[in-house]
Amino acid sequence: MSEVEGQEVPAPSSEDDGRSRRRLFVGAGVIALVLLAIAAYAWGASSKGEEVFAEPAASIGMDPFTTEGVMPVSNVTDDQTTTTSGSSTGTKPPGLFGGSSDDTVCDPARAVAFLAAHPDKAAAWVVALNSDPTLRWSKGNSLTVADIPAYVAELKPTVLRADARVTNHGFKNGKPTPRQSVLQKGTAVMVDAEGIPRARCKCFNALKPPKPVSNPEYVGEKWDDFGPPFCSGKTCVDPPPPTTSTTEIKATTTTEIKETTTTRSDVIKCPAIPPVPANATDVTTAPVDFDGNGTADLLRVYRVGSVWHVRAEIGGLGIDDEVIPGPGPSMSAVGGATINPGLTEEAWVKVGQGAATDILGIYVFRSCDLQRVLLRGAGPVGGPAEFPVGASATAADSVQCFGNNVGIEVETTTSSDGTNYSGTSQMYTLDLSGPNPVLVPQGPPSNISTPGTSVTNLSDFICDSLTTIP
């Protein structure tokens, strides 16, 4: 007997003791099985990983914003017919992107029109891009639906030259559907000023940088050379590794350091790009010394459908080809002039035309990339630098250059009688220190007035040897 609070309690018998041990054993076994099941579930969940979707360049992908960009074939114009698999023949549909229904080229104007016609998709597209804290453009770090035309105008159509990891946003049930994707080399995209892909041309899905995935599970239709590492952001588009014939560019530049001039010779290997499409129209050319070696290279401007292009050709090879954002309707190559420190020339292009004026834009060639010169605005970077040149009875505008490291002068005047003109003169210098070449205003504008004089000096273009605009 044992005592509990002064009372005698019978001691457990050997039979009772055995039952207790069996209950303890069974209970411990159940607990162990439960713990093993929990551990196995946790291990299985952690080992599965997050899905990353392989998306070939020719695929439309899941939840596309639009399927209108799908093309059965490429490199044919809208009025051509094509034979599929050697049997059926039909007319190629116009599609959303590509001035000539070529889905390797984005048409920004048609993309904007598509979103304007689908307000629900426009709202979802903006929500997707605003979810990226790294979003930057000339008007800040966020977008509204009303900003879409201006934002898309700042994007650069291009083609990925390496497989790229992105966060890809589709559209479903009125909302953006984010997923991690690998876009195949050759996918047509639009990139921002930092070289970050922001839209896929084939479906116009919104894109942003990828999020880290520690244990990715790659799913979908993989191509022959699919596999990590994948690039992301601007490393996918600038500069690409040489994949075709290359030209070696010896760029001689002059840098002033404490009033001492030193000369540096850079050797850059740039990959050649495909030739101008056979269906190009309105082709104009002009000499520009892109590499600063004292020998003229070739600036070429042309049109494919409704899309205008500017192209740099060095040593007989095409080096870079860019879509020209501009008012149009007519564009042409003007020529080269040096307005920044160094021996390389900037390329002048007519990007638009009015009733009495031509509109000029400027391009800089560096690191194998033909870059549009921007105009410093209220923020760090504004939109493309565009300057009218010409005169009418109500206005007169001119652009003049003043050589190395001096910049340009832009005169803007108006008139109420067609004889007396008054307005402002603004000096600009070219800043090449950032990722984009930028014209920076030098001080406030000066007031100018020419009572009773000819408007000729207020409506001309003089930049080194350039004095005419085709």
Taking only the tens place, the pLDDT of each residue in 76-126 is 233 332 222 222 233 323 333 333 334 446 778 888 888 999 999 999 999
Residues 278, 160 share a domain: no
Among the listed residues 448, 164, 97, 145, the one whose alpha carbon sits nearest the alpha carbon of residue 307: 97
Instruction: Write the pLDDT tens digit of every residue in 182-215.
Output: 999 888 888 887 778 999 988 889 999 998 888 8
Q: Which of 209, 236, 263 is the last residue of a domain?
A: 236
The answer to the question of residue 15 being in a domain is no
CA 206 from centroid of its chain's CA atoms = 12
Q: Calculate the CA 416 to chain-centre distance.
A: 43
| 357 assigned to some structural domain | yes
Q: Quick check: is 44 in a domain?
A: no
Structural domain including 312 reads 246-462
Q: Would you say 418 and 441 are in contact if contact means Cβ atoms under 8 Å apart? A: no
361 within a domain of the structure (yes/no): yes
In a domain, 425, yes or no: yes
Q: Which two tokens stand for residue 327?
A: 């008012």
User: Are residues 438 and 383 part of one domain?
Assistant: yes
Q: Are residues 418 and 323 in the same domain?
A: yes
Total domain count, the chain: 2
What the block records as the tokens of 417 is 């009688």
384 and 292 fall within a common domain: yes
The residues of the chain scoring below 50 in pLDDT are 1-9, 14, 18-26, 28-47, 70-104, 238-246, 251-265, 378-380
Q: Which amino acid is located at 137 in the chain?
A: W
Q: Which of 370, 397, 409, 389 is nearest to 469 (CA)?
A: 389
Element at 151 (helix H, strand E): helix 148-154
Task: Determine, yes or no, domain membership for 219.
Answer: yes
Last residue of a domain, which of 187, 202, 236?
236
Q: How far apart are CA 233 and CA 235, in angstroms?
A: 6
Give yes or no: residues 219 and 263 share one domain: no
Residues 199 and 261 in one domain: no
Q: What is the pLDDT of residues 33-49, one digit of tens each?
A: 444 444 444 444 444 67
Using DSSP bridges, classify how beta strands 408-415 and 421-431 pair: parallel, antiparallel or unpaired: antiparallel
Residues 290 and 316 occupy one common structural domain = yes
Question: Tell me, what's the pLDDT at 249?
Answer: 54
Q: Examine residue 197 and say whether the peptide bond preceding it is cis (omega within 30 degrees of 0).
A: no
Do 185 and 259 belong to one domain? no
Residue where one domain finishes, among candidates 236, 268, 292: 236
Q: What is the pTM of this model?
A: 0.52
Q: Are residues 127 and 222 in the same domain?
A: yes
Q: pLDDT value at position 171?
A: 92
The answer to the question of residue 206 being in a domain is yes
Query: What is the predicted pLDDT for the residue at 213?
Result: 83
Do 363 and 256 lie in one domain? The reply is yes
Do 175 and 58 lie in a common domain? yes
Classify burial at 22, counting beta carbons within 10 Å of its beta carbon; exposed 0-12, middle 13-18, buried 19 or more. exposed
| Distance from C-alpha of 139 to C-alpha of 142, rounded to nearest angstrom | 8
User: Are residues 309 and 450 both part of a single domain?
Assistant: yes
Assess if residue 17 is contained within a domain.
no
